[in-house]
């Protein structure tokens, strides 16, 4: 199976602080990979490095077989990457519909009409301001926005953060549906058990380094190991 | 007395319209480009001089259409080759750049068109009072107010109903997220800068017909335009327009009662606003408080 994303030896800094110490990971075609780790482990920085938002100082990022190091974020997105950022980053002063007009939509199965069919709740609230939406609705909107790029690869940063359990289930069902459609997914989660239920493989980050990688099922079964690795079990 | 106050208030409204148009352009550029454009007044003067040169060929109306576009085209080059290099740096760099640019452009205007003022001929159609009692209501003045409102209305329509406008509004809040959605933010910022300069150009030509055409015409308008932004509320374009009109009228009315204070009053309004409502008339809460 060919790699959708291959990251090798990432070193990323915020100013002078060295955040990522040689992170390497891979996402293969139609695979859902979970990236776990506690707060401050470097999960979001890894995502930002891949998207070109915080370009790494060292390391290689290969997307769909082509190196993308140094490319601007919009070019990386343009290669077919949908990015759902941490905290959703919905445009609060724009309406739901306007939020959906921001992405540089590419032709494909996901049109605004198709999005409204997938998320009827967004259709109902199309004239509401983004800031008026519930957390769950905002998460749907952030995913919808990313889908309009008709991505082959979806990056989700903490989609369950701050959501009620029922809503989390709904979000996770959506993520599973995307995977079922053949979209590769990189899922960042603090809630490890949730992520491992869906994932094929998992990486655990700690202090900017990958401390574990392997099949998701094996990690989920080994509660003690998860505790030891990154204290990720507490959310279960 | 009543008519004098009315006259001064109306004069103030006209000048306020120029402040407002300038402030809208400044506000656009400050919002998305994050640049305090000190060259705004000089772009304004340049557009007016271009219109002056074009008028014999294109007439007033032709020049009114073409000159702001030319100024905006120059704005595109300035953004592309100078300002773009400074986005990642601290704001002081772009401030210094636009300040230097203003000095250079102003001297260029002096070199090309001379240091003394030039006459602008406004069309006969607009050159008459519309009423004998209200003699100050000349066609041109009414036209200035109408043009300011119309162009602002058109800008709001663009910002509200076009993808470009929606992306500009989104980018004002969170440019990074706009970029991750595949939007070329380099182009977006360029388009926004061009739009802002277009408004400076439009203000320049309208102002030249009313206040006269001199190389320094922008200097007298740019500080009140910054005040208009603060009074109207940083981040709100409608606020910038209203702020401009408000301080214009306030300054005009003060002329009727206490002429010496007419220049100072706008700064007093700004001071009072900053104390009682730091976000300005329509600014977002929390931006300055």
Statement: residue A236 has pLDDT above 60: no
Judging contacts by C-beta atoms under 8 Å, the chain B residues touching residue A91 are: 169-170, 173-174, 177
Average pLDDT over residues B125-132: 79
With cut-offs at 50, 70 and 90, classify the pLDDT of residue A1: low
In degrees and rounded to multiples of 5, residue A5 shows phi and psi of: -135, 130
Pick the more confident residue, A228 or B285: A228
Q: Which of A74, A93, A94 sits opposite B185 (nearest CB)?
A: A74
| DSSP run (H or E) holding A27 | strand A17-28
Q: Quick one: what percent of chain A has pLDDT higher than 90?
A: 80
Query: What pLDDT digit, counting tens, does each position of B145-166 carry?
Result: 999 999 999 999 999 999 999 9
Statement: residue B178 has pLDDT above 70: yes
Q: Does B180 touch chain A (CB under 8 A)?
A: yes
With cut-offs at 50, 70 and 90, classify the pLDDT of residue B179: very high
Chain mean pLDDT for chain B = 92
With cut-offs at 50, 70 and 90, classify the pLDDT of residue A223: confident
Average pLDDT over residues B80-96: 93
Q: Which of A73, A101, A106 sits opposite B180 (nearest CB)?
A: A73
Q: Which of B179, B181, B185 sits opposite A149 (nearest CB)?
A: B181
**B158–chain A nearest CA distance, Å:** 13
Q: What is the pLDDT of residue A227?
A: 74
Partner-chain contact B169 A146, CB within 8 Å: no
Q: What is the pLDDT of residue B134?
A: 76
Partner-chain contact A103 B183, CB within 8 Å: yes
Partner-chain contact A94 B184, CB within 8 Å: no
Partner-chain contact A74 B163, CB within 8 Å: no
Q: What is the pLDDT of residue B33?
A: 94
Q: What is the pLDDT of residue B288?
A: 41
Partner-chain contact A94 B166, CB within 8 Å: yes
Average pLDDT over residues A27-41: 92
SS3 category, A69: coil
Average pLDDT over residues B23-42: 94
With cut-offs at 50, 70 and 90, classify the pLDDT of residue A222: confident
Reported for A10-15, long-range contacts at CB under 8 A and 24+ positions apart, including other chains, are A10/A46, A10/A49, A10/A56, A10/A58, A10/A59, A10/A61, A11/A56, A11/A57, A11/A58, A11/A59, A12/A42, A12/A45, A12/A46, A12/A48, A12/A49, A12/A54, A12/A55, A12/A56, A12/A57, A12/A59, A13/A57, A14/A45, A14/A54
**B183–chain A nearest CA distance, Å:** 5
Q: What is the residue extent of each domain of chain B? A: 2-276
Q: Which of A4, A1, A2 is nearest to A186 (CA)?
A: A4
Pick the more confident residue, A190 or A63: A63
With cut-offs at 50, 70 and 90, classify the pLDDT of residue B284: confident
CA nearest to B284 within chain A: A93
CA nearest to B160 within chain A: A98
Average pLDDT over residues B36-63: 95
Q: Which of A53, A72, A145 sits opposite B181 (nearest CB)?
A: A145
Average pLDDT over residues B185-200: 97
Q: What is the pLDDT of residue B259?
A: 86
Statement: residue B248 has pLDDT above 90: yes
With cut-offs at 50, 70 and 90, classify the pLDDT of residue A53: very high
Q: Does B182 touch chain A (CB under 8 A)?
A: yes
Judging contacts by C-beta atoms under 8 Å, the chain A residues touching residue B177 are: 85, 89, 91
CA nearest to A103 within chain B: B181
Fold type of domain B2-276: ABC transporter involved in vitamin B12 uptake, BtuC (1.10.3470)
Q: What is the pLDDT of residue B79?
A: 97
A30-55+70-235: CATH homologous superfamily? Answer: P-loop containing nucleotide triphosphate hydrolases (3.40.50.300)
Q: Pseudo-torsion of CA B92, B96, B97, B101, nearest 10°?
A: 150
């Amino acid at each position: 199976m060919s790699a959708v994303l291959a990251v090798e030896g990432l070193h990323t800094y915020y100013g002078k602080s060295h955040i990522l110490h040689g992170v390497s990971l891979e996402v293969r075609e139609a695979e859902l990979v979970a990236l776990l780790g506690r707060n401050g482990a470097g999960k979001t920085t890894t995502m930002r490095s891949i998207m070109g938002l915080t370009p790494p100082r060292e390391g290689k990022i290969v997307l769909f077989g082509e190196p993308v190091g140094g490319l601007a974020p919009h070019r990386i997105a343009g290669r077919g990457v949908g990015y759902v950022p941490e905290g959703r980053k919905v445009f609060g002063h724009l309406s739901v519909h306007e939020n959906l007009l921001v992405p540089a939509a590419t032709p494909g199965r996901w049109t605004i009409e198709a999005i409204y069919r997938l998320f009827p709740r967004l259709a109902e609230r199309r004239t509401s301001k983004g800031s008026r939406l519930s957390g769950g609705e905002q998460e749907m909107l952030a995913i919808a926005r990313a889908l309009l790029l008709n991505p082959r690869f979806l990056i989700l940063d903490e989609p369950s953060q701050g959501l009620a359990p029922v809503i989390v289930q709904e979000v996770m069902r959506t993520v599973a549906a995307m995977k079922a459609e053949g979209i590769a997914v990189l899922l960042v989660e603090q809630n490890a058990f949730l992520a491992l239920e869906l994932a094929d493989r998992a990486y655990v980050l700690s202090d900017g380094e990958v401390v574990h990688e392997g099949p998701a099922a094996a990690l989920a079964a080994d509660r003690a190991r998860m505790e030891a690795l990154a204290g990720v079990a507490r959310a279960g | 007395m009543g008519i004098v106050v009315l006259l001064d208030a109306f004069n103030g409204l006209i000048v306020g319209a120029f402040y407002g148009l300038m402030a809208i352009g400044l506000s656009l550029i400050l919002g998305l480009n994050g640049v305090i454009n000190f060259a705004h007044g000089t772009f304004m003067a340049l557009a007016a001089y271009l219109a002056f040169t074009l008028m014999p060929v294109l007439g007033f109306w032709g020049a009114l259409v073409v000159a702001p576009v030319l100024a905006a085209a120059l704005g595109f080059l300035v953004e592309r080759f100078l300002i773009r290099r400074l986005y990642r740096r601290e704001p002081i760099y772009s401030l210094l750049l636009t300040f230097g640019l203003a000095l250079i452009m102003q001297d260029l205007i002096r070199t090309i068109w001379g240091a003394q003022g030039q006459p602008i001929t406004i069309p006969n159609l607009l050159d008459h009072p519309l009423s004998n009692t209200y003699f100050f209501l000349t066609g041109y003045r009414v036209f200035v107010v109408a043009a300011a409102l119309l162009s602002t209305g058109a800008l709001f329509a663009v910002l509200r109903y076009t993808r470009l406008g929606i992306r500009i509004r989104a980018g004002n809040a969170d440019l990074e997220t706009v970029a991750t959605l595949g939007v070329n933010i380099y182009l977006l910022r360029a388009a926004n800068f061009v739009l802002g300069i277009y408004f400076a150009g439009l203000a320049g030509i309208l102002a030249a017909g009313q206040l006269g055409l001199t190389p320094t015409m922008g200097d007298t308008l740019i500080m009140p335009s910054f005040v208009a932004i603060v009074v109207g509320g940083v981040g709100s374009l409608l606020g910038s327009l209203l702020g401009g009109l408000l301080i214009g009228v306030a300054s005009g009315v003060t002329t009727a009662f206490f002429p010496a204070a007419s220049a100072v009053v706008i700064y007093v309004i700004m001071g009072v606003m900053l104390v009682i409502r730091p976000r300005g008339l329509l600014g977002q809460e929390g931006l300055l408080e």
